């Protein structure tokens, strides 16, 4: 997948929060260029085993889902994902304006481990991830997905801090 001459795969971790949208906006403005492939990674912490896809793909994650399909609420729901309209709009606009290919991979489990697993299995040129901006105490108690990924990923990671107080 990645590594073909001239082909660049950029990963973007998302939970469809404002922090993730800030990371997406940053990547669109500063990183993505024509011909890139954007791999949107969405991890669902607790699988819904009534969703057949969760059972089928839990260990490896979903197959790559083209953005045009993932934008369909029925398809997104099939994977247990709940993308927001604003994120989908930014993705579709960026794909058109920057002439990039956007695909989505849904994963189930611990976001820290699953993101590092997919980075290892799918060599990415880099990964962009948002940060909720947790205070020191909350970060110690809750852990930080972005901190873990920065310290364990096998590719360069850019953490984009959200300016909002969400979280």
Structure confidence by residue, pLDDT tens digits, 87-128: 999 999 999 999 999 999 999 989 999 999 999 998 899 999
Average pLDDT over residues 43-72: 78
Identity of the highest mean pLDDT range in 38-52, 106-120, 123-137, 141-155: 106-120
Strand pairing report for 157-161 and 101-108: unpaired
Question: What's the CA gap between 128 and 36, in Å, rounded?
Answer: 14
Strand pairing report for 37-44 and 65-66: unpaired
Q: What mean pLDDT, rounded, does the chain reach?
A: 85
Instruction: Name the pLDDT band for 78 (thresholds 50, 70, 90).
Output: confident
Average pLDDT over residues 80-89: 94
pLDDT of res. 141: 43
The first and second tokens of residue 106, run together, are 């849904």
Which of 16-30, 114-128, 141-155 has the lowest average pLDDT?
141-155
Q: Which domains does the chain have, with CATH numbers?
A: 9-161 (3.40.50.620)
Whether 50 shows a pLDDT value over 80: the answer reads no
pLDDT of res. 133: 58
Average pLDDT over residues 130-140: 59
Question: What's the CA gap between 18 and 24, in Å, rounded?
Answer: 10
Buried b / exposed e over 121-144, threshold 16 CB at 10 Å, is ebebbbbbbbbbbbeeeeeeeeeb
């Amino acid at each position: 997948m990645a590594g073909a001459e001239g082909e660049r795969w950029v990963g973007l971790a998302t939970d469809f929060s404002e922090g993730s949208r800030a990371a997406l906006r940053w990547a669109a403005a500063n990183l993505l260029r024509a011909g890139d492939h954007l791999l949107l990674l969405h991890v669902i912490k607790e699988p819904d085993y009534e969703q057949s896809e969760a059972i089928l793909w839990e260990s490896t994650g979903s197959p790559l889902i083209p953005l045009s399909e993932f934008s369909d609420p029925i398809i997104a729901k099939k994977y247990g994902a709940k993308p927001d309209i604003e994120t989908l709009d930014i993705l579709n606009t960026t794909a058109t304006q920057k002439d990039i290919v956007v695909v989505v991979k849904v994963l189930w489990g611990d976001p820290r481990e699953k993101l590092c697993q997919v980075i290892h299995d799918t060599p990415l040129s880099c990964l962009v991830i948002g940060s909720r901006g947790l205070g020191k105490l909350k970060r110690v108690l809750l852990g930080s997905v972005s901190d873990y990924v920065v310290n364990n990923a096998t590719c360069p990671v850019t953490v984009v801090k959200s300016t909002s107080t969400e979280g």
